[in-house]
Amino acid sequence: MSSLDPATSASLDARCALHPDTVATAACQRCGTFACHLCLQWARDGRRYCGACAERALPPLASREDRFLANLVDSFVVFVPFIAGLVMLALTSEPTDEEFVSFGFVLFGLLGSLVLCLVQLYLSGQNGQSLGKRWRHIRVVRMDGSHVSLARIIFLRNLLPSFLNQVLCVFGLADAICIFRDDRRCIHDYLADTQVIQVPEHERGGTPSYRG
Ligand SMILES: [Zn+2]
Ligand SMILES: [Zn+2]
């Protein structure tokens, strides 16, 4: 009556780490701990984990509203200095003004926007939280709950989808619509093997927040 998983089968006399009286069904595919049928859980990445690992692999998903708002802020925030530079230029451009003053405003705007781009990259690489995601307390992680590298965020989550959107103009729309799937993963999440989760309350301390 063995129902052992061939890929991760526990030996016949292995016992569950939490329930020593119960025969293990399989080993956790994350930590390798033997677990019984009560402890094993299927995670969103299609693997089976013990209770502790499932908790890490199954954090609550970010809401669609939070993802939308974060995306809105991220799409806009890097342009703020550039727009501010143009506004200052418009407000002060009298015929008597020196040309280098106008140049200064544009340069200020461009540099400011560049700095914000770098800040966005730095924050995303640190903990998967751009400014918008930080604000909404959400984070990009790999499907097993682990840290997502900056290279993965840049190439698979941003550049590849942008490229596909240039080639197939409906890609962007299809990508966005996938947020309404049950797992709330867009196509760019599938390309990068990522998901967007809510940051647990206890991990939010010390992170900048725009709330209040
Ligand atoms: Zn485990
Ligand atoms: Zn158990």
**pTM reported for the whole predicted model:** 0.72
Measured in Å, residue 56 CA sits from the centre of ligand 1 at 9
Contact partners, residue 128, CB within 8 Å, separation at least 6: 139, 140, 141, 147, 148, 153
Q: Which ligand is nearest to the CA of 19?
A: 2
β-pairing verdict for 48-49 and 194-198 = unpaired
Residue pair 161/190 in contact by the 8 Å Cβ criterion:
no
pLDDT in tens, 31-71: 999 999 999 988 877 889 998 888 777 778 999 999 999 99
| Rounded average pLDDT per 10-residue block, the chain, 212 residues | 47 84 92 93 85 80 96 95 90 69 87 96 94 96 90 95 93 94 92 92 57 28
Measured in Å, residue 49 CA sits from the centre of ligand 2 at 11
Residue pair 86/105 in contact by the 8 Å Cβ criterion:
yes
Residue 199 per-residue DSSP state = P
Q: Which ligand is nearest to the CA of 144?
A: 1
Q: Which ligand is nearest to the CA of 24?
A: 2
Measured in Å, residue 51 CA sits from the centre of ligand 2 at 8
